[in-house]
């Protein structure tokens, strides 16, 4: 399953059901470019989680709303509620372990 782009306009709808992980990133961010393939791999392996990414330069409102000051930041929501915020680069194993806590 591919990682979908989400925007300020679609974020709430895109993250309202089930377990979702949103990767807040920017094109100029080196660690974001390292994190992105890890998120892509997880999206192929974890069918029970919806994966999104949001460019913070294009969509400043959502990043501001959730107080995202550093990128990459991965926001985990379950049924529309924020349950975890992961700041900085993390390995596939680390992220899978976090997500497993929220999936049934």
Residues assigned a catalytic role: 29, 32
Buried b (16+ CB within 10 A) or exposed e, 48-76: ebbbbbbbbeebeebbeebebeebbbbbb
> How far are the Cα atoms of 5, 72, 89 from residue 29, in angstroms, in the given order?
17, 8, 11
Q: In the chain, which ranges are continuous DSSP H helix?
A: 11-14, 30-45, 60-65, 92-100
Residue 18 burial (CB count, 10 A): 15
């Amino acid at each position: 399953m591919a990682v979908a782009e989400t925007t300020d306009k679609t974020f709430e709808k895109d993250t309202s059901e089930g377990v979702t992980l949103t990767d807040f990133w920017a094109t100029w961010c080196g660690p974001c470019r390292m994190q992105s393939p890890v998120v892509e791999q997880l999206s192929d392996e974890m069918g029970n989680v919806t994966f999104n990414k949001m460019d913070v330069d294009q969509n400043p409102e959502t990043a501001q709303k959730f107080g995202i000051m550093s990128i990459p930041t991965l926001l985990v929501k379950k049924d529309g509620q924020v349950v975890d915020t992961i700041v900085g680069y993390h390995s596939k194993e680390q992220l899978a372990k976090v997500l497993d806590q929220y999936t049934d």
